[in-house]
A and B are shown apart, each in its own frame.
Chain A
């Protein structure tokens, strides 16, 4: 028990480092709206958006609200990012048709479940379906497996979204976040 706790604590410390960097990279790239359904994988990013008086922190009842929110934000000239767990992607699919059909620039960051070392069988189906669904809806997928790749990937995704007008999903894989961390 205590050994497991220590391992979890160590994972949390590493995770806190890159999660803080991730938030700061999004802010540096001009993101002013953060939407989310509460999720352990995005905990620090969510908490920092709540504390940050210069952004709108939008708690959603279901993930697809965040897709529409981001499209509305774009119509108003703001940058909005949807933070969700991979299981939330299934809720978003029909609204993603607006992103694709409307060619809205759109960024979502997914904390993965069910992709590497998952121990909850309920998470496997959506985890394994995540990339095929994103590809089917015309999204570009960028996967992060190492903490040092978080900031460069957010910068790359930001360019592809807000300079090239693309829809990009950044996947925080379980190789990055760990299957045991939550």
Chain B
């Protein structure tokens, strides 16, 4: 098991994802949620109780932002939240450029950055070695961005996720510790059927 005392991503990574993610997102059922694999999939599965508005990945690393974009374009009547980690986002960071060009008003991207690849044994990721994903989002043309790294930043981030007029990107820096314990379904087909039945009323 991960021991927080042995590991750090640096002085800016002090928040605990178990409390910070819910503080930022609020009621997750206000969103259609796409979650990247591993940590954020568990964060969001716990918050939605693996509900009909949640589709979480357990593979296809790098797919979360693009999947959220397709969903946001298909459902302009809903707000789509992509929650993903630093490692997952880094694997297909060009997707931010695709999003930046289109700027769908109903898309929110929350990157929970712990500076590590938690699922494979907490190896360091590029972000704790100096790469700033908020700056990459800005460079990709996403106009509403912020970084959250203290209790005092949470309200600003939460407000952006709720009220942004265009696509927004919120980088949440957290310490490299495990998220909530939650047993979620890993069946990608069952997840698809659950999501469509629950949000569209059809398979």
Contact = CB atoms under 8 A, between A and B. Distances in A.
A33 interface: yes
Given A61-B95, A76-B70, A76-B75, A68 B101 contact: no
Nearest to A77: B200
Closest 5 A/B residue pairs (Cβ) = A76-B74, A72-B70, A61-B94, A78-B74, A102-B188
A97 B37 CA distance: 14
B199 interface: yes
A129 interface: no
B182 to A, nearest CB: 20
Secondary structure type dominating chain B contacts: helix
A135 interface: no
B196 A75 contact: yes
A179 B53 CA distance: 47
Given A75-B192, A76-B75, A98-B60, A68 B67 contact: yes
> Do most interface residues of chain A lie in helix, strand or loop, or is the interface mixed?
helix
Contact of B60 (A73, A74, A97): A97
B157 interface: no
Contacts of B199: 75-76
Nearest to A104: B192
Given A56-B73, A61-B94, 4 more contacts: A33-B73, A64-B66, A68-B65, A75-B71
B98 A75 contact: no
Interface in A22-79: 32-33, 56, 58-62, 64-78
